[in-house]
Amino acid sequence: MMTTRDPSGGRLGGRVIFITGAASGIGAAIARCCIAEGGSAICADASLNGASKLVGALGPRALALECDVTDQHSMDRAVNAAFDQFGRLDGLVHNAAAPSLDGTVVDLSEEQWRLEIDVSLTGAFLASKFAIPLMISGGGGAVVLVASQFGHVATGKAVAYCAAKAGVVHLAKAMAVDHAADGVRVNSLSPGAVATPRLLQRWPDLETANKNLGPAHLLGRIAQPDEIAAAAAFLLSPDASFVTGTDLLVDGGYAVR
């Protein structure tokens, strides 16, 4: 992978980035950041309508695709459709997330457990399985798997989420070992609480979410999606050319408490 900035402008100038779970929240922020940094964004999501609305605002360097990250045939089709459209693939961000449900191992159904694991962990496996060979064919690339601070520390009644995100962190490390010689860097990115629509599953509004969750972070607040997107752009870019096999905690100091 190139270790200097592309002359077309921005840290991601000329690069094509495939993003799962791109229709809203962190994924949408990463897509916007990719465009702002000179790259192209493939906005893949289970909601084609949501991805299409985002792409309408991003312009011609963005492409909306429908995909189910838990289905290998769907992921294969989506990744190859992106490659056919742009003729290259330089980066992958796996950001798709399940609608996490509270529960201990006693409370959760097997179906709820499998959904969390399938979307977060198996989804990361499948997206990487089909994207990495295309990156290698172009000389290399960068993979960013979105995990969580709960891949490092645990919280109550979130066994499936904690287990899935810890698996994502270690999957990235193992993939980094396997593909360093191919010119593919692999890292995970672990946000703390972020002001996205997901928080509205628990809290009536983001202000209330911040009031309740902010004090758990050393910085006293939750993150904005653009702050997570900036970290993803760094890991995808030549600025991180000597960074692989690591987990970047962007959690406002949550995990050090």
Interatomic CA distance for residues 118 and 130, integer angstroms:
16
Determine whether 161 is an active site residue.
yes
Question: Shortest CA distance to 194 belongs to which of 142, 145, 247, 150?
Answer: 150
CB burial readout 191-229, b (16+ within 10 A) else e: bbbbbbebbeeeeeebeebbeebbebbeeebbbebbbbb
Q: Which residues pair with 142 in a beta bridge?
A: 91, 185
Interatomic CA distance for residues 113 and 105, integer angstroms:
9
Residue 50 contacts residue 69 (beta carbons within 8 Å)? no
Interatomic CA distance for residues 223 and 29, integer angstroms:
12
Q: Which of 18, 125, 130, 161 is catalytic?
A: 161
**Residue numbers annotated as active site:** 161
